[in-house]
Chain A
Amino acid sequence: MKTKSSLGKRRERAGLAFAAPSMLILTVFVFIPLIVAFIFSFFKFDMMFNNFEFLNFYNYIKLFRDGRFWGALWNTVYYTVCTVPLNIGLALIAAVLVKRQSWFSSFCKSVFFIPAVCSLTVISIVWSFLINKDIGIFSYWLQSLGFHTVDLLNSPIWAMPTVILVGLWKNFGFYMVILLAGLNGIDESYYEAADMDGASGFQKFWRITLPMLMPTLSFTIVNCMIGSFQVFDQVYIMTKGGPLFKTQTLVQLIYNTAFESFDMGYASTIAVALFIITFTVSVLTFKHLTRDEDSLA
């Protein structure tokens, strides 16, 4: 009995030792900044971190009355609501299609995955050039076919859908690979049993694949959602939040407030708001999805 408990303790310690490095990184780069941002959100101070002025809840009141914040929140929600279903849907379809073992599937897998390993900055610049109304190759082709082209990134209506599509092109391959791993983890015997019972392809997908894939799916959905809430690079490169703030997302607003207006206090307030929103939505989604998983299984 005694040996068992000391073994348990040893394992516990070993576990802690293994977790320590990442805990240290998390503490230095996530927890401490989080706490500091929260403290900053109650102050006003200048670029040199001088002249600290305690503002109480002033920044939070300002936030609720700030049209730019609500605009950015709306844009972020718009981006997320479009991106998550499109990304996961496309990734799931692609994963199911390329699951078979053939040279063509392997080829497709690589092709879909390549954008995911490319730098988002490079991709954003390349796409901006490709779709440019005057010098872009896509516009050139469309125009030679007689189509009228639009200056997508400078159009208040089309700028956001364009940014969303570029993000989709870049990211769905990554989620496809994760879902593929999930799919490969489902035991073939379930399908064999279903075949013997005469289940249709759709029934197999709905009754076996989807429930068995739920843990992976929940992970990808939550992951994709957090990523969407924090979208920045591609917006920053492609539109700088314009035209007319139509693509200004929350992180972009935080960036502008911090590095253009040098109002670190208010920028921290927006960051805290973003954290609360992302955290709440992620927890709710994850709970909801895993509950579904329980009921389906």
Chain B
Amino acid sequence: MKRRILSAGLVLVLLLTTFLSGCSSKEEGTKEKSEDSGSEKTVITFWNGFTGSDKETLEALVDEYNQTNDKNIEVEMSIMPWDSLYQKLSTVLSVKEGPDMVAMATERIGTYAEPGAFVDVSDAYTTGIINESAVPEALKENLKYDDEYYGVPMNFATLLLYYNKTIFEEAGLDPESPPVNWEELEQDAQQIVDNTDYYGFDMAVKETTPMWCIMLWGNGGDIIENGKAVFNSEENVETITRWAENIRDKKFGPEVLTGGEIDKLFESQKLGMYFCGPWAAGGFENAGINFGVVQAPEGPAQQVTQANAVGMYMTSSSEQKEAVYDFFGWWNSEETQIKWSLGTGFPPARTDLEDDERLAENPYIEEFSKPANESQMYLQKLTNFSEIDNQVIIPAFEKILLEDADVKTTLDEANKQIEALIE
């Protein structure tokens, strides 16, 4: 009898220890003896969401760092979809079990910097690990929160207009003279819709790098300006009315698309023109599409495009500042940036490499680098970026495009909601 109770108890203890050990496996920030040299090896963990075509280049570069750095540092990288990354982060950071480094879009800095999940890395700039003067203007301000740097550049990209030359020819357009302003863009799109079975031009609304903002800015509008919501400005009403009519009523393209859907549409050669970043060029080339990239068509007020950037951050879970800074510095070195650029088509995240001959190997880099200092970034410096974007702005576009809702009323309503959220 006693033995039975004993064995039942043993089973319980065994189960309990399995659970507890499963819950508390600490993977990061460990120092282990290196087998060959006997010196201490520093392991730092790095989470990011580069699951696309840039994954290979990133992995190769991290491997190179692990093999060549002289401080015996090993970067252990986990690549996962961005969605899972945000979800996992929020559960591990609070219990100090997070990775040492994490990469994500700069618009999310505030969300993590404010509660202290990311730490101030200003000293990486003051000590010269990061060359501040080489960071693109549009990016510099957005790596800061409360006037302090919380991140260092990982990549920097601008959106250009991709256009399909085969579709242009079929529609009777000159494939070597893509549109340079809104009027031409409208004419060309209309001609594609009229003369072929394809869509002319479209902009994705959700789960995407923002595209509609290029139009808003082009006509002199914005969403939030100096901490105030200006989504319902006259310019915006005009812009959105014009382009909603183009897309919805003149059938330039499907009303509401996700980023993935619009990429697929262009890749399957059913869409003539759309805005996209450098990450897509390689894939389209491999798919054998005859396409070109050109600067975003000039709006009535200005020629502008959207820039977006991924920054690298150190989390409050990390106790390996020295190793993390070493990787920060290495990643932002000229040498690494050129390799990253050539491998992915992204322009380098530093402005002093524009004329470097080595970059000429990839024709897209130059084109994507051009607007580096004239571009704008979307909804930066907020602590609740994704809430504003997903709960207010995207639904407003859906309402207008899918339900033909009155533009002015919809934007007024959305503006009120944004005001409440940024208070």
Contact = CB atoms under 8 A, between A and B. Distances in A.
B1 A10 contact: yes
B11 interface: yes
Contacts of A262: 90, 111, 115
Contact of B115 (A24, A50, A135, A151): A50
B390 A260 contact: yes
A243 B95 CA distance: 35
Interface string B380-391: 000010110011
B163 interface: no
Contacts of A13: 4-5
Interface in B72-131: 86-87, 90, 93-95, 111-112, 114-117
A244 B316 CA distance: 37
Given A135-B270, A260-B387, A244 B395 contact: yes
Contact of B4 (A17, A47, A49, A261): A17
Interface in A234-250: 240, 242-245
A259 B391 CA distance: 13
A46 B114 CA distance: 9
B386 A49 contact: no
Contacts of B5: 13, 17
A163 B16 CA distance: 40
Contacts of B1: 10
A203 interface: no
B207 A48 contact: no
Contacts of B265: 134-135
B112 A47 contact: yes
Nearest to A258: B90
B116 A24 contact: no
Interface stretch (B132-140, B142-150, B331-339, B396-404): B396-404
B207 A240 contact: yes
A135 B261 CA distance: 9
Interface string B214-230: 00000000000000000
A156 B395 CA distance: 11
A156 B402 contact: yes
Given A13-B5, A20-B12, A261-B384, A48 B115 contact: yes
Contacts of A256: 390-391
B89 to A, nearest CB: 9
A36 to B, nearest CB: 13
Interface string A256-295: 1011111000000000000000000000000000000000
B416 interface: no
A29 B11 CA distance: 18
Contacts of B395: 242, 244-245
A154 B117 contact: no
A28 interface: yes
Contact of A21 (B11, B112, B261): B11
Q: Which of A10, A151, A240, A243 has the most CB of B within 10 A?
A: A243
> Interface extent on A, as a size class?
20 to 34
Interface residues of B, number: 44
Contacts of A110: none
Contact of B403 (A21, A48, A151, A244): A244
B115 A46 contact: yes
B256 interface: yes
Q: Which of A13, A21, A244 has the most CB of B within 10 A?
A: A244
B399 A21 contact: no
B90 A154 contact: no
A176 B398 CA distance: 39
B206 interface: yes
A133 interface: yes
Contact of B268 (A50, A51, A135): A135
B255 interface: yes
A20 B261 CA distance: 50
A155 B8 CA distance: 56
A244 B410 CA distance: 13
A132 interface: yes
B398 A47 contact: no
Contacts of A259: 86-87, 90
A47 B255 CA distance: 36
B403 A156 contact: yes
B264 A135 contact: yes
A240 to B, nearest CB: 7
B387 to A, nearest CB: 5
Given A156-B402, A261-B384, A242 B206 contact: yes
Contacts of B4: 13-14, 17
B94 A47 contact: yes
A47 B117 contact: yes
Contact of A47 (B93, B207, B254): B93
Q: Which of A50, A151, A262 has the most CB of B within 10 A?
A: A262
A87 B95 CA distance: 42
Contacts of A21: 11-12, 15
A155 B402 contact: yes
Contacts of A155: 402
B102 to A, nearest CB: 13
A132 B384 CA distance: 32
B399 A244 contact: yes
Given A20-B8, A259-B90, A154 B256 contact: yes
Q: Which of B16, B90, B316 has the most CB of A within 10 A?
A: B90
Contact of B117 (A14, A48, A261): A48
A62 to B, nearest CB: 13
A216 to B, nearest CB: 32
Nearest to B86: A259
Given A242-B394, A244-B399, 20 more contacts: A10-B1, A13-B5, A14-B4, A17-B5, A17-B11, A21-B12, A46-B115, A47-B111, A48-B116, A51-B115, A132-B264, A133-B254, A154-B254, A240-B206, A242-B206, A243-B398, A256-B391, A259-B90, A260-B390, A261-B386
What are the 3 tightest A-B residue pairs by CB atom distance, in nearest-first order? A17-B8, A46-B115, A49-B94
19 contacts: A10-B1, A14-B4, A20-B8, A21-B15, A24-B12, A46-B114, A47-B90, A47-B94, A47-B112, A47-B117, A48-B94, A48-B116, A48-B316, A156-B403, A242-B395, A244-B403, A258-B90, A260-B387, A260-B390
Interface of A: 10, 13-14, 17, 20-21, 24, 28, 46-51, 132-135, 151, 154-156, 240, 242-245, 256, 258-262
